Amino acid sequence: MKVKILRQQSPGSAPYWETFEYDGPADNSVAGALDYINYHDDIINADGKPTTRIGWECSCLQGICGACAMVINGRPALACETFLRDLKGKSVEIRPLRKFPVIHDLVTDRSSIHENLKQANVYIGAYQPAEDGDHAHQYAAAKCLKCGLCLEVCPNYVNGRTFFGAVFANDCYLVASRNHAEGGRIRALYAEHFGKTCSKALSCMEVCPMKIPTLASIAKLNRKKG
Amino acid sequence: MKDVLIIGSGISGMTCAVRCAALGVHVTLVSPFPSERSQSVMAAGGINAVLPGGEAGDSVQSHVEDTLRGGCGLGGEKAVKGLCEHGGEILRWLESIGTVFSVDDRGRPLRRAFGGQTHKRTCYCGASTGKQIVSALVMEARRFEAAGRIERRLWCCFHSALIRDGVCHGAMLYDEARGGLEAVYADAVVIATGGQNALFGKTTGSTQCDGYAAGKLFMQGAELKNLEFIQYHPTTMETPQKRMLISEAARGEGGRLFIRDGGRKVYFMEEKYGPGGNLMTRDIVSREIDAQGGRAWLDLSFLDRAVIDERLPEVRDLCAKYGGIDVTREPIPVQPSVHFFMGGLAVHLNHETNIRNLFAIGECASIYHGANRVGGNSLLAAIYSGQVAAEEISGRTGGMHPADFSGDVERERRLLEKSMDTQSAFPVMYMRDMLAETMRKHLGIVRSEQNLAQGLSDIDYDLSIAERIRYDASVMPYFNFSLTAILTLARATVTCALERRESRGAHYRSDFPQADGALGFATIIAYDGGSYSVRLDKERAYES
């Protein structure tokens, strides 16, 4: 199998494609394949030339930390839970998330996700839950990995300067539901940075590794109470 | 004290940061990646707390006794008492910052049974307790970040502590994004870097937890404790990617272990230990599986579908995704695997190490769990230790004039540049892989003098060549400069295991299969210029 990777040596340098021949186990995930290419032997590209090791992030390797978010065959996904056997064709194309600055190869700086939440002051403060709170949905929303896949796929999200995306909407919902008294302020923020711009493509829900029902967060925040 | 530098932003580091900030201490919170990537999100099962309205007969005293018994007499009594007494308060605090616990129809936290405990006292959030706590803590920390009281430094790795005359003045950090070393001064430094997984290669935990900070600090004079006590979790699933943890919650909800004898299922734990056999402490269950050939099956298929869907959805999904197993219809093949490190940096009750103003919290500190940790106590200890360190730091007078370490930074910078100036294609990962193979082979569930001695000899060889090799500079520099300290920590671990000539908790010696009452003290190991000295803490110096 050919593995084609969009690489970049450092934040300011020019990106370039490099292809590798993968002859490792067929049941590997993309994360497993990257590890195999890097460390099974000396790293040599498909032209037979020695090259540098591929940079990518990982931590849990079981789909619950969001580190290995990247674009695989055009689809934003976690490398550790995307299996080679499920990919069509005899080659796979991998590139870094393009909505975030590249640090090195497939490693991107996703700190804008946190910066936006911090700037908007989205935190619970005093715990005053709504009496009719939807516990199951709160649990689901709190599983957000802050991986950025929802932003990568979103047609409305550009660079995070004004529209903050689904990750923001879900945290807004969580705060509003856990501190009812903050609901008004949070809803205003939600409207400004999400509600008025979201075109409801809902592609965010399709790529979310945690299957967070963002539409339900939207519906609950659009209601006057909840 | 005015300024604290916290290394590591998982549950323990964040708790310490939040408490310090609330008490008026400015926090610099350092980690290579955001908190969502920390190993804390992988803590599945739950957190122990004795709450009003709990199971009949349960009490804080009972929690203390279970913890001390699980730790086989090596957990410090005063420390454990403090830990257990604060369980209820910690749970209420977690709820107040927004942690979404699983609750009953009256909104009270549900509890499940966990290994080695006399009562159901493990509160939980489905099977993603750690993740839910991280999400709440991230929001709470964000409040203080917005107010400028917590400053996060991402892309930064710990390099070394700035220590002079037994006092810590800050730390040297390596900034991956900018590619440079810098000294950051602080009144206190808190290490919250998790366990030493990398010693064993791929474990149930995060690839980010490698033990480097503990190893480096050991080389800089910090004492380590109880390194020989390594918890093998009895139920992990082998996949090409890693060892996947099958949470103890699966057995807490009724899951049964068996082996096959021909066509017959033998429920070996229940046969030997009675109806509660599946929930014996992890050291016992792991050893029993090891004695059965190292493999067993965990059966959930007889459980009510609703129990699996409502209380164990993460276990169900993990098995389906990575093992192709439908747990409602078939058993899960399980093996014990390295999961938790009871040993680490030796700390006093206030979580300060033997180096003044250097603290350690969470899994990288050794204080509560003794020879074996009982399930549900690691999250509790992560939070409690963060709070204890914060209280201590905020109450101290700080502002000592920092010593000048610019010469040290310059020297380390030159060494780093020299190590990067190479065309070598040999990746440092091969050395880490060799170490992991050695550790798995010689520091397994059952150990012996001969086996451990061979392990020590292998690590000595690795150490003898480690600094003579040039490593592929296209790998992140951190991996290259961290190798020697990781090998040194491994050597210290095997040394401690050799010295403890008895079996206790997670440390089982086939040549000394019984516990020896005379050895019922913590192991302390110190390093001085290449020599390792081991002693038993008979004066209980670290229990003050």
Please give the tally of structural domains in chain A: 2
Which pLDDT does position B401 carry in this prediction? 66
Instruction: Examine the residue annotation and report whether B282 is marked as an active-site residue of this protein.
Output: yes
- Mean pLDDT for B395-402 is 78
- Mean pLDDT for B40-64 is 93
Residues of chain A with C-beta less than 8 angstroms from the C-beta of B429: 38-39
- Mean pLDDT for A76-102 is 96
Residues of chain B with C-beta less than 8 angstroms from the C-beta of A55: 476
Find the closest chain A residue to B246 by CA distance: A62
Mean of per-residue pLDDT scores for chain B: 95
Q: Which domains does chain B have, with CATH numbers?
A: 235-336 (3.90.700.10), 412-518 (1.20.58.100)
Which pLDDT does position B115 carry in this prediction? 81
Q: Quickly state the pLDDT bin for A226 (edges 50, 70, 90).
A: very low
Same-domain status, A12 and A79:
yes
Same-domain status, A46 and A134:
no
- Mean pLDDT for B9-15 is 98
Return the number of CB contacts < 8 Å for A and B: 135
- Mean pLDDT for B345-349 is 98
Residues of chain A with C-beta less than 8 angstroms from the C-beta of B38: 59, 65
Of the three residues A108, A138, A164, the one that is the final residue of a domain is A108
Residues 6+ apart with CB under 8 A from A121: A189, B143, B146
Summarize pLDDT for B263-288 with one digit per residue, the tens. Answer: 899 999 999 999 999 999 889 999 99
Which pLDDT does position B207 carry in this prediction? 92
B474/A53 Cβ within 8 A: yes
Same-domain status, A143 and A103:
no
Phi, psi at residue A215, to the nearest 5°? -60, -35
Same-domain status, A51 and A68:
yes
Best CA proximity match to A41, nearest among A30, A25, A56, A53? A53
Which of A117-126, B214-223, B273-282 holds the top average pLDDT?
A: B214-223
Mean of per-residue pLDDT scores for chain A: 93
Active-site position among B149, B243, B251, B282: B282
Residues 6+ apart with CB under 8 A from A11: A101, A102, A103, A104, B177
Chain A 123-152, residues with CB within 8 Å of chain B CB atoms: 123-127, 135, 138-139, 142-147
Which pLDDT does position B112 carry in this prediction? 87
Same-domain status, A23 and A47:
yes
A46 neighbors A19 (Cβ within 8 angstroms): yes
Same-domain status, A131 and A143:
yes
Query: Could you give the percent of chain B with pLDDT greater than 70?
Result: 99
For residue B400, is pLDDT > 80? no
List the single residue in B37, B139, B140 with the smallest CB-CB distance to A65. B37
Same-domain status, A124 and A210:
yes
Best CA proximity match to B83, nearest among B137, B12, B24, B17? B12
For residue B8, is pLDDT > 90? yes
Q: CATH number for the domain including A80?
A: 3.10.20.30
For residue B529, is pLDDT > 50? yes
- Mean pLDDT for B228-241 is 94
Domain enclosing residue A205, as ranges: 111-222
Which pLDDT does position B138 carry in this prediction? 96
- Mean pLDDT for B69-97 is 96
B42/A135 Cβ within 8 A: no
Residues of chain A with C-beta less than 8 angstroms from the C-beta of B321: 63, 81
Which pLDDT does position A180 carry in this prediction? 82
- Mean pLDDT for A19-47 is 95
Which pLDDT does position A224 carry in this prediction? 59
Q: For residue B149, give the DSSP letter.
A: S
Residues 6+ apart with CB under 8 A from B164: B403, B405
Summarize pLDDT for A212-225 with one digit per residue, the tens. Answer: 999 999 999 988 55
Of the three residues A83, A108, A133, the one that is the final residue of a domain is A108
Of the three residues A45, A78, A108, the one that is the final residue of a domain is A108
- Mean pLDDT for B123-146 is 94
Same-domain status, A74 and A169:
no
Residues 6+ apart with CB under 8 A from B411: none
B33/A66 Cβ within 8 A: no
- Mean pLDDT for B457-471 is 96
Same-domain status, A103 and A6:
yes
Say whether the ipTM exceeds 0.90.
yes
Same-domain status, A115 and A218:
yes
Q: CATH number for the domain including A182?
A: 1.10.1060.10
Chain A 184-213, residues with CB within 8 Å of chain B CB atoms: none
Same-domain status, A22 and A117:
no
Same-domain status, A65 and A135:
no
List the single residue in A39, A80, A119 with the smallest CB-CB distance to B241. A80
Summarize pLDDT for A184-195 with one digit per residue, the tens. Answer: 889 999 999 999
